[in-house]
């Protein structure tokens, strides 16, 4: 069966009434068997597992063709669990323009744990090779990256990681499994902020890790979920399973809209540059064509001709694009990342990050047209 069919019909919680829509199981605890020791339905306590979370994790594992999935209450909780699986003295290679909270986690939460990291342009394989130390254990990829949309050659980085006995992780939030399958390229772990495209409606907070194999690191991170307790609620799991039934249909529109908007903006005289992997002008367009299937997802960034005041004015003049944080929802969003990340951020001051939603493309183009007149 195709993915769209599987997401609708695979691993749904059944109800004795025969209800077509799976129920929400809110119970925090479950009955023992008559022997007083066994749990016939396989559930003990909702922090350990829950029917809705079990269904969600099976669907997410299916999407990435993974051996197993572990879900969390947020994408950052999932990332933190990976860092917890490392040992004091270990070194991490991070992209030089990764989501800024990755650095915040290491700088603030792990400052006393003896982990170190280097920020590297992963599109430069020579720079990557030079950055690897004897203590390097993890190469963290984010492709396309946030917010500069750099596209990392996953297979090339995996080959380098294997030379140095490092494990690899890809944050696949922006590309989604509809466009990129990192585990098939040899990656060890895939991370998702399920808040974004997988949830798709800006009403769910969640995260997940998908594993190529259920090894010792998987078992450790499973215990982080189990004992740490940063698990998604049954209702959030149910909402996310509901959202996944429309995932493939939504992603097609996101991608088509983003490409058409990028093509329009690239020709506009008030736009300095458009960053979108689907454009031939993108520096890693060839890599994107090789490893992204079906399209290039729904995120782009634009560099506006002007200063910060001009850029913020443009964002404020947009009417359909809400000036707000986050991405991947049905509604279009725009954000000035530099003001969010702070003065130390390498993000250009004239950059706007754009999450292209499901509105009609003619309306989205018209919104930018009227707003650009104000710059």
Q: In the predicted model, what is the mean pLDDT of residues 194-204?
A: 98
Q: In the predicted model, what is the mean pLDDT of residues 159-182?
A: 98
**Mutual orientation of helices 361-372 and 308-317 as an angle, nearest 10°?**
140
- Predicted confidence at residue 269, as pLDDT, reads 97
Task: In the chain, count H helices and then E strands.
Answer: 14, 12
- Predicted confidence at residue 54, as pLDDT, reads 95
The residue whose two tokens read 């429309």 is 246
Q: In the predicted model, what is the mean pLDDT of residues 340-357?
A: 90
- Predicted confidence at residue 344, as pLDDT, reads 77
Question: What global pTM score does this model have?
Answer: 0.96
Rounded CA-CA distance 278/297 in Å is 9
- Predicted confidence at residue 104, as pLDDT, reads 93
Residues 6+ apart with CB under 8 A from 171: 79, 98, 99, 140, 141, 142, 143, 190, 191, 192, 193
- Predicted confidence at residue 127, as pLDDT, reads 98
Q: What are phi and psi of 335, to 5 degrees?
A: -150, 140
Rounded CA-CA distance 350/309 in Å is 9
Out of 8-22, 94-108, 171-185, which region has the weakest mean confidence (pLDDT)?
A: 8-22
Instruction: Give pLDDT tens digits for 244-294.
Output: 999 999 999 999 999 999 999 999 999 999 999 999 999 999 999 999 999
Which residue numbers are catalytic? 47, 99, 171, 196
Q: In the predicted model, what is the mean pLDDT of residues 300-324?
A: 96
Q: What is the mean pLDDT of the chain?
A: 95
User: Residue 8 pLDDT more than 90?
Assistant: no
- Predicted confidence at residue 9, as pLDDT, reads 86
* Local confidence band at 74 (pLDDT 50, 70, 90 cut-offs): very high
Q: Domains, the chain, ranges and CATH?
A: 3-244 (3.40.640.10), 248-372 (3.90.1150.10)
Lay out the sheet containing 271-275: strands in order across: 271-275, 299-304, 351-355, 333-335, 322-323
Q: In the predicted model, what is the mean pLDDT of residues 28-54?
A: 91
């Amino acid at each position: 069966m195709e993915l769209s069919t599987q997401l609708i019909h695979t691993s749904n919680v059944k109800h004795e009434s025969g209800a077509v829509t799976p129920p929400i199981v809110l119970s925090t605890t479950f009955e023992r068997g008559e022997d007083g020791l066994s749990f016939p339905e396989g559930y003990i306590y909702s922090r350990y597992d829950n029917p809705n979370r079990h269904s969600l994790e099976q669907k997410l594992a299916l999407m990435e063709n993974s051996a197993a999935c572990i879900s969390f209450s947020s994408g950052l909780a999932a990332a933190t669990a990976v860092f917890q699986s490392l040992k004091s003295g270990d070194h991490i290679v991070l992209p030089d323009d990764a989501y800024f909270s990755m650095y915040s986690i290491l700088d603030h939460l792990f400052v006393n744990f003896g982990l170190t990291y280097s920020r590297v342009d992963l599109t430069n394989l020579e720079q990557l090779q030079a950055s690897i130390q004897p203590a390097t254990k993890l190469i963290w990829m984010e492709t396309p990256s946030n917010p500069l949309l750099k596209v990392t050659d996953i297979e090339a980085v995996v080959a380098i990681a294997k030379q140095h006995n490092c494990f690899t992780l890809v944050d696949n939030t922006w590309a989604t499994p509809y466009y990129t399958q990192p585990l098939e390229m040899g990656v060890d772990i895939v991370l998702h902020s399920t808040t974004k495209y997988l949830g798709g409606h800006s009403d769910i907070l969640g995260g997940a890790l998908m594993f190529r194999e259920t090894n010792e690191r998987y078992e450790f991170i499973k215990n982080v979920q189990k004992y740490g307790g940063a698990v998604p609620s049954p209702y959030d799991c149910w909402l996310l399973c509901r959202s996944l039934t429309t995932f493939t249909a939504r992603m097609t529109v996101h991608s088509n809209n983003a490409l058409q908007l990028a093509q329009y903006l690239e020709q506009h005289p008030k736009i300095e540059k458009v960053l979108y992997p689907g454009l031939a002008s993108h520096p890693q367009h060839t890599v994107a064509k090789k490893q992204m299937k079906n399209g290039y997802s729904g995120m782009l960034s634009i560099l506006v001709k002007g200063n910060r005041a001009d850029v913020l004015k443009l964002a404020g003049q947009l009417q359909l694009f809400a000036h707000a944080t986050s991405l991947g929802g049905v509604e279009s969003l725009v954000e000035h990342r530099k003001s969010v990340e702070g003065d130390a951020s390498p993000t250009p001051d004239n950059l706007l990050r754009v999450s292209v939603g499901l509105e009609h493309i003619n309306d989205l183009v018209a919104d930018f047209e009227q707003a650009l007149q104000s710059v």
